[in-house]
Chain A
Amino acid sequence: KAGVTQTPRYLIKTRGQQVTLSCSPISGHRSVSWYQQTPGQGLQFLFEYFSETQRNKGNFPGRFSGRQFSNSRSEMNVSTLELGDSALYLCASSPQPSLGFGYNEQFFGPGTRLTVL
Protein backbone atom coordinates (compact mmCIF):
# COMPACT_ATOMS: atom_id res chain seq x y z
CA LYS A 1 0.00 0.00 0.00
CA ALA A 2 1.46 3.34 -1.00
CA GLY A 3 2.09 5.83 1.77
CA VAL A 4 1.15 9.48 2.00
CA THR A 5 2.62 11.48 -0.84
CA GLN A 6 3.25 15.20 -0.88
CA THR A 7 4.09 17.32 -3.86
CA PRO A 8 6.23 19.16 -4.49
CA ARG A 9 8.95 18.13 -2.05
CA TYR A 10 10.76 21.43 -2.30
CA LEU A 11 9.52 24.85 -3.28
CA ILE A 12 11.02 28.31 -3.42
CA LYS A 13 8.78 31.37 -3.57
CA THR A 14 9.15 35.09 -3.02
CA ARG A 15 7.29 37.30 -0.57
CA GLY A 16 3.81 38.24 -1.66
CA GLN A 17 3.32 35.21 -3.88
CA GLN A 18 0.90 32.44 -3.16
CA VAL A 19 1.58 28.72 -3.05
CA THR A 20 -0.42 25.51 -3.24
CA LEU A 21 0.79 22.27 -1.70
CA SER A 22 -0.73 18.90 -2.44
CA CYS A 23 -1.23 15.81 -0.34
CA SER A 24 -2.46 12.40 -1.46
CA PRO A 25 -3.52 10.22 1.46
CA ILE A 26 -3.16 6.49 1.83
CA SER A 27 -5.79 4.71 -0.22
CA GLY A 28 -8.99 4.40 1.80
CA HIS A 29 -8.09 7.17 4.22
CA ARG A 30 -10.64 9.95 4.31
CA SER A 31 -9.00 12.32 6.79
CA VAL A 32 -6.10 14.62 5.98
CA SER A 33 -4.34 16.93 8.42
CA TRP A 34 -1.75 19.61 7.81
CA TYR A 35 1.07 20.78 10.06
CA GLN A 36 3.71 23.49 9.88
CA GLN A 37 7.17 22.95 11.35
CA THR A 38 9.63 25.82 11.82
CA PRO A 39 12.77 26.13 13.94
CA GLY A 40 11.26 29.03 15.89
CA GLN A 41 7.65 28.00 16.44
CA GLY A 42 8.14 24.26 16.30
CA LEU A 43 5.32 22.02 15.17
CA GLN A 44 1.91 23.57 14.77
CA PHE A 45 -1.39 22.09 13.72
CA LEU A 46 -3.02 23.85 10.78
CA PHE A 47 -6.25 22.02 10.05
CA GLU A 48 -7.90 18.69 9.42
CA TYR A 49 -10.28 17.73 6.64
CA PHE A 50 -12.60 14.78 6.56
CA SER A 51 -14.97 13.95 3.73
CA GLU A 52 -14.33 17.33 2.10
CA THR A 53 -15.21 19.27 5.27
CA GLN A 54 -12.86 21.09 7.59
CA ARG A 55 -13.28 19.37 10.93
CA ASN A 56 -10.61 20.94 13.09
CA LYS A 57 -8.55 24.08 12.86
CA GLY A 58 -5.47 25.50 14.54
CA ASN A 59 -4.61 29.12 15.20
CA PHE A 60 -3.42 30.34 11.85
CA PRO A 61 -4.42 33.47 9.93
CA GLY A 62 -6.84 33.32 7.04
CA ARG A 63 -3.94 33.37 4.58
CA PHE A 64 -3.71 29.65 5.25
CA SER A 65 -6.53 27.71 3.71
CA GLY A 66 -7.16 24.22 2.54
CA ARG A 67 -9.60 21.99 0.80
CA GLN A 68 -10.23 18.35 0.24
CA PHE A 69 -11.53 16.72 -2.90
CA SER A 70 -13.94 13.84 -3.30
CA ASN A 71 -11.02 11.43 -3.77
CA SER A 72 -9.67 12.60 -0.37
CA ARG A 73 -6.68 14.36 -1.87
CA SER A 74 -6.07 17.67 -0.15
CA GLU A 75 -4.48 20.94 -1.04
CA MET A 76 -3.20 23.67 1.22
CA ASN A 77 -2.89 27.22 -0.01
CA VAL A 78 -0.92 30.07 1.49
CA SER A 79 -1.57 33.50 0.04
CA THR A 80 0.59 36.60 0.32
CA LEU A 81 3.63 34.69 1.49
CA GLU A 82 5.78 36.09 4.28
CA LEU A 83 9.34 35.19 5.19
CA GLY A 84 8.03 33.49 8.33
CA ASP A 85 6.06 31.04 6.23
CA SER A 86 9.30 29.27 5.36
CA ALA A 87 8.79 25.86 6.90
CA LEU A 88 8.40 22.15 6.47
CA TYR A 89 4.73 21.44 5.80
CA LEU A 90 3.66 17.99 6.82
CA CYS A 91 0.53 16.19 5.79
CA ALA A 92 -0.95 13.18 7.55
CA SER A 93 -3.81 10.85 6.73
CA SER A 94 -6.03 8.54 8.76
CA PRO A 95 -9.07 6.41 7.99
CA GLN A 96 -11.32 8.50 10.24
CA PRO A 97 -10.85 11.94 11.83
CA SER A 98 -7.68 11.88 13.90
CA LEU A 99 -8.93 14.46 16.39
CA GLY A 100 -12.22 13.84 18.11
CA PHE A 101 -13.44 11.30 20.58
CA GLY A 102 -10.59 8.88 20.98
CA TYR A 103 -7.90 8.85 18.36
CA ASN A 104 -7.21 7.41 14.95
CA GLU A 105 -3.56 6.87 14.12
CA GLN A 106 -2.16 9.27 11.56
CA PHE A 107 0.38 8.37 8.90
CA PHE A 108 2.63 11.19 7.81
CA GLY A 109 4.08 12.09 4.47
CA PRO A 110 7.67 13.24 3.88
CA GLY A 111 6.71 16.90 3.87
CA THR A 112 7.11 19.84 1.54
CA ARG A 113 9.91 22.24 2.37
CA LEU A 114 8.87 25.77 1.45
CA THR A 115 11.42 28.56 1.31
CA VAL A 116 10.20 32.13 1.01
CA LEU A 117 12.78 34.65 -0.20
Chain B
Amino acid sequence: AQKITQTQPGMFVQEKEAVTLDCTYDTSDPSYGLFWYKQPSSGEMIFLIYQGSYDQQNATEGRYSLNFQKARKSANLVISASQLGDSAMYFCAMKHSGAGSYQLTFGKGTKLSVIP
Protein backbone atom coordinates (compact mmCIF):
# COMPACT_ATOMS: atom_id res chain seq x y z
CA ALA B 1 0.00 0.00 0.00
CA GLN B 2 1.11 3.52 -0.72
CA LYS B 3 1.82 5.57 2.36
CA ILE B 4 3.28 8.92 3.33
CA THR B 5 4.48 9.55 6.86
CA GLN B 6 5.20 12.93 8.38
CA THR B 7 6.38 12.30 11.93
CA GLN B 8 6.54 15.92 13.08
CA PRO B 9 3.07 17.25 13.93
CA GLY B 10 4.53 20.64 14.78
CA MET B 11 7.85 22.43 14.61
CA PHE B 12 9.28 25.77 15.64
CA VAL B 13 12.11 27.58 13.92
CA GLN B 14 13.77 30.92 14.54
CA GLU B 15 13.44 33.49 11.80
CA LYS B 16 16.36 33.37 9.31
CA GLU B 17 17.30 29.84 10.39
CA ALA B 18 17.01 26.77 8.16
CA VAL B 19 14.51 24.03 8.95
CA THR B 20 14.00 20.47 7.72
CA LEU B 21 10.55 18.89 7.54
CA ASP B 22 10.61 15.11 7.44
CA CYS B 23 8.73 12.89 5.01
CA THR B 24 9.07 9.17 4.43
CA TYR B 25 7.12 7.20 1.88
CA ASP B 26 6.31 3.64 1.06
CA THR B 27 5.58 2.37 -2.42
CA SER B 28 6.41 -0.60 -4.61
CA ASP B 29 6.00 1.42 -7.81
CA PRO B 30 9.29 2.05 -9.62
CA SER B 31 7.89 5.31 -10.99
CA TYR B 32 6.45 7.86 -8.61
CA GLY B 33 6.66 11.52 -7.75
CA LEU B 34 6.96 13.41 -4.50
CA PHE B 35 5.53 16.83 -3.73
CA TRP B 36 5.49 19.38 -0.99
CA TYR B 37 2.62 21.80 -0.51
CA LYS B 38 2.14 24.71 1.86
CA GLN B 39 -1.21 25.61 3.38
CA PRO B 40 -1.35 28.94 5.23
CA SER B 41 -4.14 29.64 7.69
CA SER B 42 -6.16 31.09 4.81
CA GLY B 43 -6.65 27.51 3.60
CA GLU B 44 -5.37 27.87 0.05
CA MET B 45 -2.84 25.21 -0.96
CA ILE B 46 0.39 26.30 -2.57
CA PHE B 47 2.63 23.97 -4.56
CA LEU B 48 6.26 24.24 -3.45
CA ILE B 49 8.41 21.59 -5.08
CA TYR B 50 8.35 18.31 -7.03
CA GLN B 51 10.80 15.40 -7.30
CA GLY B 52 10.40 12.52 -9.72
CA SER B 53 11.66 9.10 -8.70
CA TYR B 54 14.07 8.99 -11.63
CA ASP B 55 15.44 12.48 -11.11
CA GLN B 56 19.13 12.25 -10.32
CA GLN B 57 19.46 15.61 -8.64
CA ASN B 58 17.56 17.00 -5.69
CA ALA B 59 14.87 19.49 -6.69
CA THR B 60 15.36 23.13 -5.74
CA GLU B 61 12.95 26.07 -5.94
CA GLY B 62 14.28 29.28 -4.44
CA ARG B 63 14.54 28.81 -0.67
CA TYR B 64 13.02 25.33 -0.90
CA SER B 65 14.97 22.19 -1.60
CA LEU B 66 13.96 18.56 -1.46
CA ASN B 67 16.46 16.18 0.09
CA PHE B 68 15.63 12.99 -1.82
CA GLN B 69 17.14 9.79 -0.44
CA LYS B 70 15.68 7.01 -2.53
CA ALA B 71 17.22 4.08 -0.67
CA ARG B 72 15.87 5.40 2.61
CA LYS B 73 12.54 6.35 0.99
CA SER B 74 12.70 9.85 2.37
CA ALA B 75 11.90 13.19 0.78
CA ASN B 76 12.59 15.88 3.33
CA LEU B 77 11.83 19.53 2.65
CA VAL B 78 14.52 22.03 3.57
CA ILE B 79 13.56 25.67 3.94
CA SER B 80 16.52 27.99 4.12
CA ALA B 81 16.44 31.40 5.83
CA SER B 82 12.96 31.01 7.35
CA GLN B 83 10.61 33.96 7.15
CA LEU B 84 7.55 34.79 9.24
CA GLY B 85 5.42 34.11 6.19
CA ASP B 86 6.61 30.50 6.18
CA SER B 87 4.40 29.77 9.19
CA ALA B 88 1.88 27.29 7.80
CA MET B 89 0.95 23.62 7.46
CA TYR B 90 3.21 21.68 5.15
CA PHE B 91 2.08 18.53 3.37
CA CYS B 92 4.18 15.89 1.69
CA ALA B 93 2.43 13.92 -1.06
CA MET B 94 3.21 11.10 -3.45
CA LYS B 95 1.94 10.51 -6.97
CA HIS B 96 1.59 6.84 -7.81
CA SER B 97 -0.25 4.69 -10.27
CA GLY B 98 -3.15 2.46 -9.35
CA ALA B 99 -6.11 0.85 -11.09
CA GLY B 100 -5.20 2.33 -14.45
CA SER B 101 -4.82 5.89 -13.31
CA TYR B 102 -2.69 8.04 -11.06
CA GLN B 103 -3.49 8.95 -7.50
CA LEU B 104 -2.09 11.35 -5.00
CA THR B 105 -1.56 10.31 -1.37
CA PHE B 106 -0.91 12.95 1.29
CA GLY B 107 0.78 12.85 4.65
CA LYS B 108 -0.92 14.25 7.75
CA GLY B 109 1.10 17.43 7.63
CA THR B 110 3.56 19.38 9.79
CA LYS B 111 2.64 22.71 11.32
CA LEU B 112 5.61 25.05 11.10
CA SER B 113 5.77 28.12 13.30
CA VAL B 114 8.46 30.72 12.63
CA ILE B 115 9.48 32.70 15.70
CA PRO B 116 10.68 36.30 15.31
Contacts and interface: CB of A to CB of B under 8 A. Distances in A.
Contact of B106 (A44, A103, A106): A44
A106 B43 CA distance: 15
Nearest to A107: B47
Chain B interface mostly: strand
A108 B47 CA distance: 8
Interface string A61-100: 0000000000000000000000000001010100000011
A8 interface: no
A108 B52 CA distance: 21
A41 B102 CA distance: 20
Given A42-B108, A103-B52, A92 B103 contact: no
A105 to B, nearest CB: 5
A38 B109 CA distance: 12
A100 B106 CA distance: 17
B101 A57 contact: yes
B105 interface: yes
A56 interface: yes
Contacts, number: 56
Contacts of A35: 45
Nearest to A58: B103
B35 interface: yes
B104 interface: yes
Contacts of B93: 43
> Interface residues of B toward A: which range?
20 to 34
Contacts of B105: 45
Contacts of A88: 43
Contact of A45 (B44, B46, B104, B108): B104
B43 A56 contact: no
Interface of B: 33, 35, 42-47, 50, 52, 91, 93, 95, 99, 101-109
23 contacts: A42-B106, A42-B107, A43-B93, A43-B106, A43-B109, A45-B103, A45-B104, A45-B105, A48-B102, A55-B101, A57-B101, A57-B103, A58-B103, A90-B45, A92-B45, A99-B95, A99-B104, A103-B35, A103-B52, A107-B47, A108-B46, A108-B47, A111-B44
